Amino acid sequence: MRVTSPIPHRRARIEIIPLIDIMFFLLASFMMVSLSQVHMKGIKVNLPTGSSGETQSKRDYISVSVDKDGHYFFDKDEVTETDLQARLLKVHQSDPEAKVFVRGDRDTVHGNVVHLLDMLRSAGFYKISFEIKSEALRGVPGSGT
């Protein structure tokens, strides 16, 4: 004798809408985490501000800084002028298309930044960007202003 269940038998269905919601949540979470993990290579300097600054990607670049006392830094390492020139030549030989971000303290003498640019040009770098604080980011939490 065959006994039937009082619960109606329905075929199983896979609901796609909750799956899509979960995937969007995961995507947004990973994007927020990756944006919060910005790796700063430069030292802490008092950057000048500008109203026409735009955000650029900071992947595969080198950071060269000059502080208000005229000391040079190569990716957070304080170096002498001759060591900086040697490192720049070495990087240019390994990657001639490397991007360089120049971080100049607001209170440094103009001649220090010009001398740094001269060293970069003599090493062969022509893709040079100045790092500034954007006026648009002023007062935004996490922008360092």
Nearest-angstrom CA–CA distance, 11 and 123: 71
pLDDT band of residue 26 (cuts 50, 70, 90) is very high
Q: Where are the alpha helices (DSSP H) in the chain?
A: 16-36, 81-94, 110-123
| pLDDT of res. 42 | 56
Does the pLDDT at position 140 exceed 50?
no
pLDDT value at 25 more than 90: yes
CATH number of the domain located at residue range(s) 49-137 in this protein: 3.30.420.270
Q: Is 142 left (phi over 0), alpha (psi -120 to 50) or beta?
A: left
Residue ranges of the domains in the chain?
49-137
